[in-house]
Amino acid sequence: MVLHLSTFHLEGGAGVAATRLHRALLKYGTDSYMLVPTAQGHEEKVIELSDNKLQKKKHFGRFIAERLHFYPQEKDKTVRFAFSPAAIGADIAGHPLVQKADIIHLHWVNFGFLSLQSLQSLFSMGKPVVWTLHDMWTFTGGCHYSRGCDNYLSHCQYCPYLAKPDQYDISFSQFEKKQFIYDQANLALVSPSRWLDGLVKAAALTKPHTSLTIPNCLDTTLFSPYNKLETRKMLGLPENKNLILFAGANTQDPRKGFAFFREAISQAGCVMENVEVLIFGKANPQNFSNFPVPVHYLGKITQPEEMVKAYNAANMIVVPSLEDNLPNTVMEALSCGVPAVGFSTGGIPEMIDHQVNGFVSDFGSAESLAEGIAWVLQNDGNNVISENARKKVLNSYSEKLIASQYQTLYASL
């Protein structure tokens, strides 16, 4: 039996990716369970750690305590959720599912779910541990993305996320603790992108351990192409416009590059007619009031069926992330036959084949992003790029393919 551990069930990119893998494994014959602090609705073999009001309050208390632990040391509020000290967490080593599991499969486990002490207790059980990395936290002294700092290659210290970085700051102590507990672990590290796997193989904490690349998976029967005109009618969107999509769990996160998107649309609007913007995700609609073209904001969408409609309404998706692993939004859009434009960073160039299923723009260049938008609109008249987008997901990210790769890994352990 494989037990997945994830802070989130159906929230955030990492939680969604973990749940999709759990479902794919069940579909293709693996006895898979998932243990999460709280679940968003009932689902087969997804078990809540907090199964009553008291336990839910305790979990929320751990989240608050974790944030308060970091609060006095944060540089400013922009890094508040970008660094996890992992000082507070639940001890789940005695949980019946943990005891029963043949393989423990970690995903994103921060925000008060598992602490470093929790991980040490799990690793000391001697069971094989697979850890799918959804960001860089596993091999850093606490940050989820390093923002150009490369101290993790040797030893974290003088952390730029801290108000008073020094040689023996909390990034140093977390690094030391991780090094100690990883040495006790029977650990295999999985990165969804080759980019992240390259960092894993270079990082001081993780290079001694087994590491490989297995992408996230997607239900391609759900995320599939619809009739664009009919979809727009359903959503009350203009039928004769070029709709450019920007989407994400939190569209205002600076890491998602919304400022570059705005500038690119402004530049592209000078050479193209009939361009409007479609946005869904957590956002403040007031931020779109002075946008250079009309904006259709669909709000935060949590139901996959509604996401599929939003993707199918768009001519393309633009993903100007400054740091990203293997974005679900790109995979979902491509699976719906929607070309993608994004910066050459992280795992994005592995998903977008340049001028085949989209356009890979120069990193940090709004001008190059605008060029990509124009290229897709000018070259997808016969739907070849859209068809290539769909093929990319079928050939690289299908549930059966990814489940098989994980089953092979489990068997080897």
In tens, the pLDDT along 125-135 reads 999 999 999 99
pLDDT at 271 over 60: no
The reported pLDDT for the residue numbered 54 is: 86
Mean pLDDT computed over 156-168: 97
The reported pLDDT for the residue numbered 288 is: 83
The reported pLDDT for the residue numbered 202 is: 98
pLDDT at 316 over 80: yes
The strand ranges marked E within 154-241 are 187-191, 210-213
Domains identified in the chain and CATH numbers: 2-217+399-412 (3.40.50.2000), 228-396 (3.40.50.2000)
**Terminal Cα distance for the chain, rounded:** 13
pLDDT at 348 over 80: yes
Pairwise CA distance, residues 310 & 336, whole Å? 10
Mean pLDDT computed over 230-259: 88
Q: Per the structure block, which two tokens stand in for 108?
A: 């994103």
pLDDT band, residue 50 (cuts 50/70/90): confident
pLDDT at 193 over 80: yes
Mean pLDDT computed over 371-388: 92
The reported pLDDT for the residue numbered 9 is: 96
Place of tokens 């994005």: 348
Give bridge partners of residue 318 from the DSSP assignment. 341
Pairwise CA distance, residues 347 & 358, whole Å? 14
Pairwise CA distance, residues 345 & 325, whole Å? 9
The reported pLDDT for the residue numbered 269 is: 63
- By percentage, how much of the chain surpasses pLDDT 70? 98
pLDDT band, residue 282 (cuts 50/70/90): confident
pLDDT at 225 over 80: yes
User: What are the backbone dihedrals phi and psi of residue 328, each rounded to the nearest 5 degrees, phi first?
Assistant: -60, -35
